[in-house]
Chains A and B, each alone.
Chain A
Amino acid sequence: MDYSKQIQDIAAKLFAEGKIDVFVGYRMNGFDDNQVPVVINDPKEVPALVFTEKSVFNLSNYLKADHTRNKRVGLVVKGCDSRSLNLLLTESQVKRDNLYIIGIACEGVVDEKGQKMQNCIECIVPDAVVYDEMLGSPRGKKDYIVNADIAGLAVKGLVERREYFEEIFDNCIRCNACRHSCPLCYCAKCCIDQETATIYNGSNTASSAFHALMTWSLHLAGRCVDCRNCEKACPSHLPRIFCINRTRR
């Protein structure tokens, strides 16, 4: 899966025709074979764009930032990214007219060790659901695979489940990287940060982390698209994706 050339061509064409102000894509990080997201304003930077199975991050996250707000944006989306982009559209966060979307018929991406991501193995809709142009041949809908950990959690009792979550949240350092990396966390001021929300009380205690993360997962209930941007961003490597997936169904 290497669409670098096609994406470079499309981006150059869009800049040349004046259809976009900025382009959101991936480039090499410069010291190993991993990639980082890049927001480019200048057509000269187009040759740096790449797209391979190492293009893991969800670029729709960058649509909530100031440097793309109210601008005409071109961007690359995989299946999961397009689903979160779709939610941003329905929740009135971005205007469809402002976007030029390059959809990818995604074959799944790999982590730093070169292993296929778990969410890609379980992915039901690998093709982009919203796009102006599709790269690759669409693969259609796949069968639903039950995540073994979630299935195990589902049969646990309420107390056990709470203990399970408390154990995970014990390692949380309340850095909020998950929140920043989540494309669907776009609130002007997060409820967790509000002065009146005393139960979250800002400080890093087990109770406040529990409330904050549980609130977060409930606010994503039915919305989480399983892109696992949060998992990639977490410095404590919390497997917190479970709690979100749990509430997704």
Chain B
Amino acid sequence: MARVGVFVCFCGANIADFVDVPTVVEEAKKIREVKFAVDYKYMCSDPGQQMIRDAIVQYRLTSIVVAACSPRMHEKTFRKALSDAGMNPYLLEVANIREHSSWVHQKDKKAATDKAGDLVRMAVAKSIANEQLHEISVPVTKRALVIGGGIAGIQAALDIADARIPVTLVERSPSIGGRMAQLDETFPTLDCSQCILTPKMVDVASHPFIELIPYSEVIELDGYVGNYKAKIRKKASYVNFKSCTGCGACWQKCPVKVPNEYNMGIDTRKAIYTPFPQAVPNKPVIDAKHCTMLLKGKCGICAKFCEKGAIDFKMTDEVIEREIGAVVVATGYDLWDATPYEEYGVGRYKDIINSLEFERMVSANGPTGGLPVRPSDGKVPKTVVFIKCVGSRDKAKGIEFCSKICCMYTAKHAILLHHKVHDSRAYIFYMDIRAAGKGYEEFVNRAQVETGAVYLRGRVSKIYQKGEKLMVRGEDGQLGQEVEVEADLVVLATAIIPDKENPALARLLGISYDKYGYLSEAHPKLRPVETAKAGIFLAGCTQAPKDIPETVAQASACAAKVCGLFAGDTIKKDPMVSTVNKDFCSGCQNCVKVCPYQAIVTEDIPLGHGAKEMRTVAKINEGVCQGCGSCVAICRSMAINLAGFTDPQIINEIVAI
């Protein structure tokens, strides 16, 4: 016969103020199976847990009911108390009398007490049918997949690989490097972006534990933590990387000119190209959308000049499969399109550019050789207006959130402008200066003092053309008056938004994303790098706007999580999974259709003992099963049972009230 112990918690005043706890204890004592019932101020505290441990031994209890807060809160704490006392931790049942009773029935103490009594009765009835369960061990494939080869992906891949864990790094474009490769110098120390990034890129290419797959995309991810199967589509590059030496003869001779994405379209590249000179791998690819040979079947000049015969116009996309244990998603960011700011004349005036375009211009390897110029006439600007928060913090036209990095890079742009054009002056329209970070405030001060940048607190209301100049009309909020600046060039610090393919990727991976398209972390404070799906982690701007130090820190955190996951040969998993009673299974496969985790497959079993004829039944992969119970509900023949929530347990609960 079952011997149940009931432990009712006051939760300080949280429960005790609205539920008469001693009454609940008395009610519990009336149940035949309850051999011990007690209340305590804080059951989760160490003395509270000690009461449970002592009672288990003293009263030879066979199951435990704790009436306290939500099981999400302290179920693990109490399970641990049970196992410390030598009892199977899954013999615990939590009756949630806080969220389900005291907090929601604050106006009626009697009703709250009655309900708490009912909840305890149900938990006791259920616990009588509880069975001993044991954690499931799932084997782990020790290989990580990193999606995105920007600084976040590079850092995560290097850190994981340094722990001697193989990494597959998938990058969509022909080279790794991402947005950081486009930057000139980085705040707050003004060290050259390429100089600090390129060594890392080379490390990725040469690392024995990193498999770099450029110019490819993840198209499928099946499986579960520790045992994912990824399909990666390697786009046809039309260049055989094995024989290509990267000599450059092909792209010098190619006659097709295409806007250069790396330089934000300021200059052109060829149809066969490497994105930038420091590209890793430094092998060209053919842009199939623009190559005349691929489009019209005429040209083939690159093939004629290639001494190695590396060009292969017949190459097709290739699908690569990898078995992996964990995924790091680092897809980065994009710039928001500022077209809705019609009053600024975005798109109408050539001399309005965005900050990444400015960044490319002042970059030493940029299209203008490091000198900012006006796109309209190629003259060097003397007066440059920077407008911050274009799209950010703007509910009406843009996006509600703060893009976080614009304050800092605009200060950097002011300094860079001063370095390149000594007699220039920067005017910066801002809403607030957000410079929280090591050395950040000092950096903004430096921009203001050293370069004489004029910071004007206020929004710009209108930009219009006057001769060659752009007139920027705005407000100086500190003087409380309208100002008008005659500008040669206007730079918009447009909001940063997640990669536009994030929602599609999130669906493919089975993780969630927010209304902007940023991928969602499991907990905003305590689990910032994990997703709700075990074994998938987030790094960099794919989760929220971030600067480089933060991105690198998060990428390293991902690496630590992956290494932790791979530390043992197996992963432990809660035993609350479904099982199929094959004798009862009718093989209708409705469970296969409703399972949200694709955890159910079919198998053929003999029709009877020793029979040659087969019939099809369902089979649950306990590694994938998350214990949601959908299959249990749909199963007409009652062949599926969910451990911890079996039919006898649920029926006991129902009968108890």
Contacts and interface: CB of A to CB of B under 8 A. Distances in A.
B584 A189 contact: yes
A188 B637 CA distance: 8
B590 A91 contact: yes
B588 interface: yes
A121 B638 CA distance: 36
Interface string A181-222: 000001111110010111100000000000000000001000
Contacts of A219: 636
B302 to A, nearest CB: 52
A187 B584 contact: yes
B586 interface: yes
Nearest to B648: A196
A115 interface: no
Nearest to A71: B613
Interface string A12-24: 0000000000000
A92 B637 contact: no
A186 B588 CA distance: 9
A198 B590 contact: no
A188 B589 contact: no
A70 interface: yes
Nearest to B617: A188
Given A69-B613, A70-B613, A92-B616, A194 B638 contact: yes
A187 B613 contact: no
A92 B601 CA distance: 13
B636 A187 contact: yes
Interface in B585-604: 585-590
Given A190-B637, A194-B638, A92 B584 contact: no
A71 B590 CA distance: 24
A98 interface: no
Contacts of A194: 584, 638
Given A70-B613, A196-B648, A191 B637 contact: yes
A194 B615 CA distance: 20
A188 B636 contact: no
A147 interface: no
Of A188, A189, A196, A198, chain B has the most CB atoms within 10 Å of the CB of A188
A82 to B, nearest CB: 19
A188 B585 CA distance: 6
B377 interface: no
Contact of B651 (A187, A191, A198): A198
Contact of A196 (B583, B589, B613, B647): B647
A4 interface: no
Contacts of B638: 191, 194, 196-197
Contacts of A199: 651
Interface string B604-618: 000100000111100
Given A189-B583, A191-B636, A93 B588 contact: yes
A155 to B, nearest CB: 30
Contact of A188 (B583, B647, B651): B583
Contacts of B636: 187, 191, 219
Of A69, A196, A197, A198, chain B has the most CB atoms within 10 Å of the CB of A196
A216 to B, nearest CB: 10
B634 to A, nearest CB: 11
Nearest to A88: B588
B603 to A, nearest CB: 13
Given A69-B613, A92-B616, A191-B638, A186 B586 contact: yes
Contact of A92 (B588, B613, B639, B647): B588
B11 to A, nearest CB: 36
Given A194-B584, A196-B647, A187 B590 contact: no
Contacts of B648: 196
Of A186, A187, A191, chain B has the most CB atoms within 10 Å of the CB of A187
B585 to A, nearest CB: 6
B608 to A, nearest CB: 10
Interface in A52-100: 69-70, 91-93
A189 B590 CA distance: 16
Given A92-B616, A196-B647, A189 B637 contact: yes
A37 to B, nearest CB: 22
Contacts of A69: 607, 613, 615
Contacts of B647: 196-197
Contact of B589 (A91, A190, A191, A198): A91
Contacts of A196: 638, 647-648
16 contacts: A69-B607, A69-B613, A91-B588, A92-B588, A187-B636, A188-B584, A188-B585, A188-B637, A189-B583, A189-B584, A191-B636, A196-B648, A197-B638, A197-B647, A199-B651, A219-B636
Given A69-B607, A92-B589, A194-B584, 15 more contacts: A70-B613, A91-B589, A91-B590, A92-B588, A92-B616, A186-B586, A187-B586, A188-B584, A188-B585, A190-B637, A191-B637, A196-B647, A197-B638, A199-B651, A219-B636
